[in-house]
Structure 1
Amino acid sequence: MKLLSEAALRRLLTPEMAVDSSTRAFIALSRGEILVPVRSEIMRPDGLGVVFAMPGYLSGRVFGLKVIATRAAESAAMVLLFETETLAPLGLLSADYLTDWRTGGGIAAATRLLAREDSRVHVVFGAGRLAGPCARLVAHVRPIARTVIVSRTRARAEALAAQLSAEGIAAEVSTDPACVAEADIVTTVTNAATPVFPGAALRAGTHINLGGAFRPDTREADDDLARRATIWCDSTAACLARAGDLVQPLAGGALDRGRVLGDIGAALVGDLRGRRDAQEVTLFKSLGNAAQDICLAADALSLPGLDVPEFDVQGDAHGQ
């Protein structure tokens, strides 16, 4: 069994690999080629975090489990993979960096399909660990000339903007959520429980990625956006059950169920339409899905010439 550390994954993962892996994961999910139950969640009794257990089975290839724990602004995650036929353990991967890049890769895959090809201004809400990968990977799939970071913590926003600018992605900081009026693409990766920008301020033709709120009682988008947008999901069933950005406006009548078109994977493969025209406001809701983790982890383990630690696991298929 191979062991991949954070350092190894930082060395191995590339933007194209992250985007392409999520694209294939979304397609497999929409076709039923990967089985992913709704994740289990355990809230910490102190209210400061949550533990997720996210299993998945990729037919004919691997099955695995991702476990991620959060506490305040901290998180830790691992992915364990097995071969489907022999049940041989394939690898144990540290999954903090992998989570960052699978999230950014999924948002970039949706952006590559749904955002206008001439999109040049990207507004990112949040300055935490997911904001950087999302900014980098969206810039990988669209000709972004200006990235605007909006965060409640100005020092973190300024640090991220400086880092992105040093990498060649022109970035700046704003404290005004209404700056979305200048955006071609908006991405939210916050811990907010209530909407973070005014949906009415968006221009026609804007694409939005919602990647933060993950419980029915939290949301990042308001009812004005719910009334305007055409929506695709990483997993429609999971989003309709767990995503407050859909659950709340559906319950309140602001969102027409007919505008939730379905899985992004079906659109990526052509079974479902993507953007209709240059004026449509498109929205991708990402809860995060074990399909992405498992596919990216399997891709990393299958890289040729992989030089990482290995160890033998004793016992038969019954764990004896």
Structure 2
Amino acid sequence: MRLLSEAALRRVLTPELAVDSSARAFIALSRNAILVPTRSEIQRPDGEGVVFAMPGFLPGRVFGLKLIATRGAASTALVLILDSETLAPLGLLSADFLTDWRTAGGIAAATRLLARPDAAVHVVFGAGRLAGPCARLVAHVRPIARTLIIGRTAARAEALAATLRAEGLAAEAATDPALVAQADIVTTVTNASDPVFPGAALRPGAHVNLGGAFRPDTREADDTLAARGLFWCDSLDACLARAGDLVQPLASGALDRARVLGEIGAALDGSLRGRQATAEITVFKSLGNAAQDICLAEDALALPGLAAPSFDPKGVSLEP
């Protein structure tokens, strides 16, 4: 069995792999080619965090289980991969960076399909750990000429913008949510419980990625966006049950169920439509799915630079 560290994964996970692996995971999910039950969730009694258990099964290939625990801003994640036939353990991967990269990869895969090809201005809400990966991977799939980082703390937003500028992205910190009026692409990766920008300010043709709120009582988008947008989900059943960005406006009537078109995987494989008109406002709701973790972990274990010539199921090989 391979034990892959954060350092090893940072060395080998490329933007192409992150985006393509998430696209593969979404397609498998929509085709029922991977079995992913609803994740188990335990809220900490002190309200400071949550523990998720996220299993998935690719018949004839692998079984995977992701565990992720959060407390405040801290998190720890692991992914275990087994051979689906022999049950031999193939790998145990530290998954903090993998989680960030698969989340951003999924958002970029949806953006690659739904955003206008000429989209050049990207507004990111949030300056935490997911904001940087999302800015980088969206810029990998669209010709982004300007990235605006809007965070709760101006210093953190400016620090992230400076890091992105040092990497070659034209990034700047901002404070006014109404700047979404300039956006071709909006990505939200916040801990907010209430909407973070005015949906009325979005111009026709914008694409929105909602990647933060993951409980029915939290949301990042307002009722105006719910009424204007067309929605695709990573997992339709999960989003209809757990995503406040859908649950709340559907319950109030602000969102017509017919505007929730289905899963992004079905659009990626051509069985569901994507963007059909330049003026459409397209919205991707990402809750995160174990299919993404399992596919990316499987892909990482198969990379030439990490592949072991042989392994002992009872032993552990440490990749520094």
TM bracket, shorter-chain basis = over 0.9
Name the SS for the 1:212 alignment partner: coil
Alignment of 1:25-104 (within 5 A): 25-104=25-104
CA distance in 2, matches of 1:35, 1:7: 30
CA distance in 2, matches of 1:9, 1:221: 33
Q: Please tell me the residue identity of whatever aligns with 1:286.
A: S
- Deviation at residue 306 of structure 1 after TM alignment: 1.5
Q: Please tell me the residue identity of whatever aligns with 2:155.
A: A
Q: Please tell me the residue identity of whatever aligns with 1:52.
A: F
Q: Please tell me the residue identity of whatever aligns with 1:233.
A: C
1:256 is aligned to 256
Name the SS for the 1:135 alignment partner: helix
CA distance in 1, matches of 2:158, 2:135: 14
- Deviation at residue 68 of structure 1 after TM alignment: 0.3
CA distance in 2, matches of 1:309, 1:165: 40
CA distance in 1, matches of 2:145, 2:233: 27
Q: Is the 8 A contact 1:122 1:186 kept in 2?
A: yes
1:194 is aligned to 194
| 1:270 to 2:270 alignment | yes
Work out the percentage of aligned pairs sharing the same amino acid: 79
Q: Is the 8 A contact 1:42 1:52 kept in 2?
A: yes
1:229 is aligned to 229
Q: Is the 8 A contact 2:79 2:93 kept in 1?
A: yes
Alignment of 1:166-205 (within 5 A): 166-205=166-205
- Deviation at residue 276 of structure 1 after TM alignment: 1.1
Name the SS for the 2:137 alignment partner: helix
CA distance in 1, matches of 2:305, 2:144: 34
Q: 1:161 to 1:88 in 2, by over 3 A?
A: same
Q: Please tell me the residue identity of whatever aligns with 2:64.
A: G
Structure 2 unaligned runs (5+)?
316-320
2:293 is aligned to 293
Name the SS for the 2:76 alignment partner: strand
Q: 1:311 to 1:60 in 2, by over 3 A?
A: closer
Q: Please tell me the residue identity of whatever aligns with 2:300.
A: A
Q: Is the 8 A contact 1:6 1:94 kept in 2?
A: yes
Structure 1-normalised TM-score?
0.97
CA distance in 1, matches of 2:305, 2:146: 38
Q: Please tell me the residue identity of whatever aligns with 1:306.
A: L
Greater mean alpha carbon deviation, residues 108-117 or residues 153-162? 153-162
- Deviation at residue 247 of structure 1 after TM alignment: 0.1
1:242 is aligned to 242
Q: Please tell me the residue identity of whatever aligns with 2:158.
A: E
CA distance in 2, matches of 1:95, 1:244: 26
2:112 is aligned to 112
Q: Please tell me the residue identity of whatever aligns with 1:124.
A: V
Give aligned pairs, total: 315
CA distance in 1, matches of 2:120, 2:188: 17
- Deviation at residue 154 of structure 1 after TM alignment: 1.0
Q: Please tell me the residue identity of whatever aligns with 2:171.
A: A
Q: Is the 8 A contact 1:115 1:207 kept in 2?
A: yes
CA distance in 1, matches of 2:100, 2:127: 13
- Deviation at residue 314 of structure 1 after TM alignment: 3.7
Q: 1:150 to 1:25 in 2, by over 3 A?
A: same
Q: Alignment RMSD, CA only?
A: 1.3
Name the SS for the 1:50 alignment partner: strand
- Deviation at residue 150 of structure 1 after TM alignment: 0.3
Q: Is the 8 A contact 1:2 1:310 kept in 2?
A: no
Structure 1 unaligned runs (5+)?
316-320
- Deviation at residue 309 of structure 1 after TM alignment: 12
CA distance in 2, matches of 1:61, 1:213: 32
Q: Is the 8 A contact 1:108 1:137 kept in 2?
A: yes
Q: Is the 8 A contact 1:29 1:291 kept in 2?
A: yes
CA distance in 2, matches of 1:307, 1:275: 39
Q: Is the 8 A contact 1:180 1:186 kept in 2?
A: yes
CA distance in 2, matches of 1:249, 1:309: 53
Q: Is the 8 A contact 2:22 2:295 kept in 1?
A: yes
| 1:217 to 2:204 alignment | no
Structure 1 stretches of at least 4 aligned residues deviating more than 2 Å after TM superposition? 307-315
Q: Is the 8 A contact 1:68 1:77 kept in 2?
A: yes
CA distance in 2, matches of 1:261, 1:139: 26
Q: Is the 8 A contact 2:19 2:108 kept in 1?
A: yes
| 1:13 to 2:13 alignment | yes
Name the SS for the 1:35 alignment partner: coil
- Deviation at residue 69 of structure 1 after TM alignment: 0.4
Q: Is the 8 A contact 2:49 2:69 kept in 1?
A: yes
Q: Once the two structures are superposed, what CA deviation does each residue of 1:25-46 show, in whole Å capped at 9, x if it has no partner? A: 0000000000101111100011
Q: Once the two structures are superposed, what CA deviation does each residue of 1:216-274 show, in whole Å capped at 9, x if it has no partner? A: 00000000000000000000000000000000000000000000000100000000000
Q: Please tell me the residue identity of whatever aligns with 1:276.
A: Q
- Deviation at residue 312 of structure 1 after TM alignment: 3.6
